[in-house]
Copies of this chain bind each other. A is one copy, B any other.
C-alpha cells in the first residue's frame, strides 16, 4: 500500500499533468503543490520511480505510469466522494471542503468508501463539477469549454470549476457561480481581459480572463 505522502505526490502529479500542455509535471510546481522544497520533491520522485509509479528522465518532466495513474484515480475517487459528502450531507461550505477531504481521503477503507458512495446515491461529479472516477478507475471528463471561449449573448450552464484555491472558490461561490447554474455572457471587453456575466435578473459579475478560463460551461 502506498503511504499517505506517496498518495499526495501521485495525486499532485496527476493534476499537474492534466493542466500542462506537455502532459508532464515539473519538479518546481510539484514541490509547490505538495508544499515541500524542490530538493525534497526530487528525492521523492526517485522513490516513486523505484516504486514504478512514475517515469522521470533526468532533468526533465515527470509522468505517471499506468500503475501510477491507477493510484491517482483511486485517491481522486476517495477525495471527490468525501467532498460530496461534506457538502451535500454535512452542509459544509463548498469552497473550504478541499483541505478536509485532503486529510480524510487517506483514512478510508474500500468498504467504507463504497458504503459512503451508496449513501450519496453514486454521484458522478463532486461539488466543483469534477468527475468522480469509477471504482474500476474510469473517468468521464465533462465536455465543456472555458467561459472565456464564449461570445457575447451566449447562454451557458456552468459545469465545472477547475481551481481548488480557497479564496478563488470563495469568490466564485459568492458570485453564485456553481455547477448547474445558468448564466448569460453579457459583455466581453475588446482587449479580452475581462468578461461580464449575468447570473440572475439584475445580478452581474465581472471576471478576469484568467478567472474565466478556470470556469467551464456548456451551451444551453
Contact = CB atoms under 8 A, between A and B. Distances in A.
Interface of A: 86, 89-92, 100, 103-104, 106-109, 111-112, 115-116, 119
A111 B89 contact: no
Given A90-B116, A104-B108, A107-B107, 16 more contacts: A86-B112, A89-B119, A90-B112, A90-B119, A91-B115, A92-B111, A92-B112, A92-B115, A100-B109, A100-B112, A103-B107, A103-B108, A103-B109, A104-B104, A104-B107, A106-B107
- Copies of this chain present: 2
A128 to B, nearest CB: 18
Contacts of A111: 92
Nearest to A91: B115
Contacts of A106: 107
A91 B118 CA distance: 11
Contacts of A116: 90
Contacts of A86: 112
Contacts of A92: 111-112, 115
A109 B92 CA distance: 12
A97 B185 CA distance: 51
19 contacts: A89-B119, A90-B112, A90-B115, A90-B116, A90-B119, A91-B115, A92-B111, A92-B112, A92-B115, A100-B109, A100-B112, A103-B107, A103-B108, A103-B109, A104-B104, A104-B107, A104-B108, A106-B107, A107-B107
